[in-house]
Chain A
Amino acid sequence: MKTTKEKILHIVENGYLGVILVFLYAPILTMMALSFNSSKSRAQWGGFTLEWYAQMFDSASITSALYNTLYIALMSALIATVIGTAAAIGMNSMKRTPRAVLTSLGNIPMLNAEIVTGISLMLGFIAFGITLGRTTILLGHITFNLPYVVLSVMPKLKQTNKSTYEAAMDLGASPVYAFFKVVFPDILPGVLSGFLLAFTMSLDDFIITHFTKGSGVNTLSTLIYSEVRRGIKPSMYALSTIIFVTVLALLIVANFAPGKKKSEAAA
């Protein structure tokens, strides 16, 4: 039996959660709605249209930015996953101190302000004589993706039972065979969520790209930024909507994919 005081408290709590949810989602939903608004005015609903989506796909700069974004997200996630997974395995058999040092150094891009990471990479590329362009964006994205992959794989490695690997070798398997047959299936969920995380992060990045891109090369984020400063066009809303929906889908897969433990899913 609930007292009235408890009932009121419950209502107040729900109200609070609701207000915050509206605060978080109303702007995004508004933008999505505007992407279907045939009126160019932001304050009026002029009827449903897909015109802006059509306009978006007609624009050469948008399609090339879309291609760049997907290419960089996919490649950087793949490369970061391979290097990061190998690194996690290697670090797992390191001694405490070198592992701690490498972990701290490796986590810098994750903890540092993005603007600092961005300009440091820019200075680095220029110092090494690498022309800024799509490749430098890719290298930059791999850099900030790596710690996320390592962090996703590491806990899985710690959970794996060392004796199953040893048992496989005891039964005659080579170390490589034993690894791929026994250890790898165990850490696969971590590898996959690391990949998805890296892909999402790359897709979403603006600041690092802003500093490491050469002139003329754009990803969707940098394209939007330069367009916005000239005034927002409705096709930008269409583009934003597509990015939001894609990222949302990826995050739901990464968080609620079967086989992923619930306790780890919060991030």
Chain B
Amino acid sequence: MSQSLIDLVNISKSFDGELVLDDLNLSVKENEFVTLLGPSGCGKTTTLRIIGGFEKADTGQVIFDGQDISHLPPNKRQLNTVFQKYALFPHMNIAENIAFGLKIKNKSKSYIQDKIKYALKLVNLDGYENRTVDSLSGGQQQRIAIARAIVNEPRLLLLDEPLGALDLKLRQDMQYELIRMKKELGITFIYVTHDQEEALTMSDTIVVMNQGYIQQMGTPEQIYNEPENAFVADFIGDSNILGGIMIRDELVEILGAKFPCVDKGFGNNKPVDVVIRPEDVELVEPSQGTLVGTCTHLIFKGVHYEMEVTTPDGFEWLVHSTKLCPVGQKTGIHVDPFNIQIMNKPASEDEEALGVNE
């Protein structure tokens, strides 16, 4: 395990009396690609701005490589930011934009020239030195913003929804580009997005945030397969979230039917939340199903069918399956034990604030 590059310790921040970050702790290792993921207003951008030095935390510390940088202004921090709307300098050409940080540091002309060339090559825009900012497309401006940041050889690059303004196709291309650059440069990335797909594709670690709290932190697989609460389950991908009762270890009752599962230690006859991913719902013959429902909705999605199966109690199950069940037909529902994810119900109001009812 390598040492952590940046640590946020007990960070709190409020704007106009409204708490945006509540006692946040986060540690990022050297050379990691960490994504802060959450809906707008969850505090992810504020967290990034506190690391960048554009916002001061009310309490807590920012530790960079073992040193407290909480009070350093942005220009004295060894990290760089790629801003949401690129924030290129409109009065400078591309080369001048990229050279900005290097000129401030009084680097030699030849060094700066080499760096510009190298950076433009890295972002696949060779020969763009003398172009003006407004002659570039959004995607190109974004690449220049990245080039402008990385020529300074920061140890940490902060990216604030850098792909948010691009269209879907370009966004996907840029995701791969970013992963490539990250590998080539070996810099630590902290990436902010509200797009769960982007987060799953690129990150080593995802930090799911809501209402100023970290909801869950883990690898993309962990976040997707083992969401710790209903908010994470709901935010990452589609899911069926149901109330259930943990009868005993490895047995849960959902909608009156008993499902074997693999979770233990919740106690006996305890109310719990149950998450089942739509692709984990198996459609079987009615006689073999744990529950029986009727298909009420059907869309062909290419890879699979998306169906809604309504059980007699009125719950609509979202099902992704390659097996077709026509509308109006009865079908059995089966879920393998290891695909049932059990979570504690929020017990108090404070936990309620964790955003379970989003």
Report A-B touching, CB under 8 Å.
yes
Residues of A in contact with B (beta carbons under 8 Å apart): 1-3
Contacts of B71 in A (CB 8 A): 3
Interface size class of B (residues with CB under 8 A): under 10
B59 in complex: contacting residue of A1, A2, A3, CB < 8 Å: A1
- The chain B residue with its CB closest to the CB of A2 is B56
Contacts of B56 in A (CB 8 A): 1-2
A248 to B140, CA, bound (A): 50
Interface of B is mostly: loop
CB interface residues, B 199-251, toward A, < 8 Å: none
**Subset of 6 A-B contacts with CB under 8 Å:** A1-B56, A1-B57, A1-B58, A1-B59, A2-B56, A3-B71
Contacts of A3 in B (CB 8 A): 71
Contacts of A1 in B (CB 8 A): 56-59
| Distance (whole angstroms) from the CB of A163 to the closest CB of chain B | 27
| Distance (whole angstroms) from the CB of B218 to the closest CB of chain A | 32
| Distance (whole angstroms) from the CB of B84 to the closest CB of chain A | 22
| Distance (whole angstroms) from the CB of B194 to the closest CB of chain A | 28
| Distance (whole angstroms) from the CB of A1 to the closest CB of chain B | 6
Interchain residue pairs A-B with the least CB separation, the first 6: A1-B58, A3-B71, A1-B56, A1-B59, A2-B56, A1-B57
- The chain A residue with its CB closest to the CB of B59 is A1
A2 to B56, CA, bound (A): 8
| Distance (whole angstroms) from the CB of A6 to the closest CB of chain B | 9
A84 to B46, CA, bound (A): 49
A1 to B58, CA, bound (A): 5
| Distance (whole angstroms) from the CB of A3 to the closest CB of chain B | 6
A149 to B56, CA, bound (A): 47
Contacts of A2 in B (CB 8 A): 56
| Distance (whole angstroms) from the CB of B24 to the closest CB of chain A | 16
| Distance (whole angstroms) from the CB of A53 to the closest CB of chain B | 46
Contacts of B59 in A (CB 8 A): 1
Complex interface bits, B41-76 against A, C-beta within 8 A gives 1, otherwise 0: 000000000000000111100000000000100000
| Distance (whole angstroms) from the CB of A233 to the closest CB of chain B | 53
| Distance (whole angstroms) from the CB of A7 to the closest CB of chain B | 12
| Distance (whole angstroms) from the CB of B9 to the closest CB of chain A | 14
Contacts of B58 in A (CB 8 A): 1
Contacts of B57 in A (CB 8 A): 1
A1 to B71, CA, bound (A): 9
| Distance (whole angstroms) from the CB of B201 to the closest CB of chain A | 37
A3 to B56, CA, bound (A): 10
A97 to B57, CA, bound (A): 55
A3 to B57, CA, bound (A): 12
A53 to B1, CA, bound (A): 86
| Distance (whole angstroms) from the CB of A232 to the closest CB of chain B | 50
| Distance (whole angstroms) from the CB of A5 to the closest CB of chain B | 9
